[in-house]
Amino acid sequence: MDLHHFMTPTMTARRALLAALLTMPALAIGCRGASYVDRDDRVAIADSLRALITRAYDFSSPDATSRLLSLYPDSGRVISAAAGRVTTSRTALQAEITSFWQRVGRNMQEPSFVLGSSYVDVLSRDAAVMTFTYDIPHRTPAGLPHTVGGAWTALWRRQGARWVIVQEHLSDAPAAADHTVDSSAAPDDTAHRHPPRY
């Protein structure tokens, strides 16, 4: 005998509700898809990206140009917007960084990199956007104190086990600017490529 024949409308509604509740977790997991990243992993990714920037700009270590270039893919397209110009290749970016270091970087006395406010949006397990402010206090060849800095937004992609920047925008900070992302005069990154000439 069909047991459904003896079920009241209330019992039927309860069964339907129970079935829906049981399937909701599975549906939620399915909707997350491949882009879902839990909180602990988001924090770990954000910490890794901050560490990569800080390590690359550790001026106490030798071979500065290689460390700066380590933030980018070894080949392929890299979009970099800075100082009103755009480059689109690793080769062009390497030329910019090398030129900066020869003109300015190696003339900075006792430089240090100070990471300011940073904001990381993890888009998936293999992609993230990071916006941050920074300062590079140092002394000029004449011994005068000087600081360059700005704000930098970078799109990161994981290639194998390595995170690299595939697109970026840097803007220099005006003198004595308040380095906040919400400021209308937000600093930019270009300090490492287009700081004031000495």
Is 96 in contact with 107 (CB distance < 8 Å)?
Answer: no
Asked whether residue 178 carries a pLDDT value surpassing 60, the answer given is: no
Asked whether residue 20 carries a pLDDT value surpassing 70, the answer given is: no
Same domain, yes or no, for 23 and 47? no
Same domain, yes or no, for 21 and 47? no
Phi and psi at residue 92, to the nearest 5° = -65, -40
Distance CA 54, CA 111 (A): 13
Average pLDDT of every residue of the chain: 80
Report the share of the chain in percent with pLDDT over 70: 71
Q: Note whether residue 155 is domain-resident.
A: yes
Locate tokens 């004031």: which residue? 196
Total count of domains within the chain: 2
Higher-confidence position of 80 and 30: 80
Asked whether residue 158 carries a pLDDT value surpassing 60, the answer given is: yes
Higher-confidence position of 19 and 195: 19
Same domain, yes or no, for 18 and 114? no
Distance CA 48, CA 32 (A): 23
Range of the domain at 18: 7-36
Q: What is the pLDDT of residue 123?
A: 96
CATH number at residue 169: 3.10.450.50
Asked whether residue 108 carries a pLDDT value surpassing 80, the answer given is: yes
Report the share of the chain in percent with pLDDT over 90: 60
Element of type H or E holding 24: helix 9-32
Which pLDDT tens digit goes with each residue over 52-75? 999 999 998 889 999 999 999 998
List helix spans (H) across 57-117.
64-69, 90-103
Q: Note whether residue 172 is domain-resident.
A: yes
Radius of gyration of the chain (CA): 25
Higher-confidence position of 127 and 5: 127
Distance CA 194, CA 82 (A): 8
Locate tokens 């930019």: which residue? 188
Which pLDDT tens digit goes with each residue over 70-100? 999 998 899 999 988 999 999 999 999 999 8
